[in-house]
Amino acid sequence: MIRRGSSADVVDVRWEVLRPGRPRETAIFPGDDAGFHWVDEEAGQVLAVASVIPAPWPAEPLTPTSGLQLRGMAVSPAVRGTGRGAMLLVAIQRDLAAPLWCNARADVLGFYARFGWRVRGGPFDVPAVGPHHRMTWSPP
Ligand X SMILES: CC(C)(COP(=O)(O)OP(=O)(O)OC[C@H]1O[C@@H](n2cnc3c(N)ncnc32)[C@H](O)[C@@H]1OP(=O)(O)O)[C@@H](O)C(=O)NCCC(=O)NCCS
Residue numbers at the binding site for ligand X (CB under 6 A): 17-18, 73-75, 80-86, 104-105, 107-108, 110-111, 114
For residue 76, the Cα-to-chain-centroid distance in whole angstroms is 14
In the complex with ligand X, the residue whose CB is nearer, 65 or 85, is 85
Nearer to ligand X, 65 or 107 (CB): 107
- Residue 28 CA to residue 128 CA, distance in Å, equals 16
CB of 4 to ligand X, least distance (A): 18
**Cis bond upstream, residue 123 (ω within 30):** yes
Nearer of residues 10 and 17 to ligand X, judged by Cβ: 17
Shortest gap between Cβ of 115 and ligand X (angstroms)?
A: 8
φ, ψ for residue 100, nearest 5 deg? -130, 155
User: 46 or 73: whose CB is closer to ligand X?
Assistant: 73
Closest to 40 measured CA to CA, from 3, 76, 7, 9: 3
Taking CB positions, which residue lies at the least distance from ligand X? 85
Phi, psi of 12 (to 5 degrees): -70, -40
Least Cβ distance, residue 7 to ligand X (angstroms): 17
Q: Smallest distance from the beta carbon of 137 to ligand X, in angstroms?
A: 13
Q: Which amino acid is at 133?
A: H
